[in-house]
A and B are shown apart, each in its own frame.
Chain A
């Protein structure tokens, strides 16, 4: 099962990098969203994959009876999902505002903060 998931993660990373190398801001953002999911799956897989055994402890015991699913990566992934989702939402809004104001989503044309014909510093009085 791990092998399959690992191949899927690799696929996600490939697609994410491909999209992030694009010049369109929207495609870059999609790439970032996919990258976030690839990372989440990576953490999840790293915490070992087990099926159908929830980490529940019977009332009379202190430790689980059988090998159980690892709850920690699930907690980590949950945190990471929330964070990356909120950041993605923020970046979407930011990109939309930037598109409204700058009239382009082509990153090469976004040269307002760093103008293309920047003056060289003065050479003498």
Chain B
């Protein structure tokens, strides 16, 4: 008995050490980012991996906030992200339900068609979209970002939702129908609360993708008015030398919301991915 427990203890220590090493490896870039965001630009790339900033250059954050136009870009990012995430969640729920539960002629083929979107590289769409948006006269507006963001996030979201909705027992819906539920009540009052884990996963992945997206934003926007947060990093990039420390400060500020979203919803995300996988 005592031998067994000592083995268990040893295993646990090894596991803890392994996990410890792994988490240090994962967290180090963040620590490094914050550390050098408080140093002078010339300190980056020194001999030391980390450097105690003396004195800490808080001015970097002030400069980042002011010259990086963070407040304005932040509002734009929030608007674009919230609308995109909301639309993706709504559409993927409705589409997922339609593909899994409803019987219609082209159901499978349309699903395949939607999922084909997973394979389209962003760069291939820049030019055609630019032309289309110009003709629609929506270049340089929130739509120019929201539409492609929703389009690019939908295939993955639909993929997740179809898998997940398939795992919900039909009996629940059957009893709802007996109680007199219509389709929309089934969808929003039965399916929606049950699919919470999958919807959270969709929310987080869509949010992370669109929050950091740059190349589409750079192509479809021209004026400063609609620019999103990733642009503020580039506000400190020179043709040759860049102001690294301030860039790091910007990145720290930009990374915070995604970090918070992920930490807050972390557990739900793992649940959402695995639950959908079993019966997918």
Same complex for A and B? Answer no
**Chain A residues engaging chain B, CB cutoff 8 angstroms:** none
B-to-A contact residues, CB < 8 Å? none
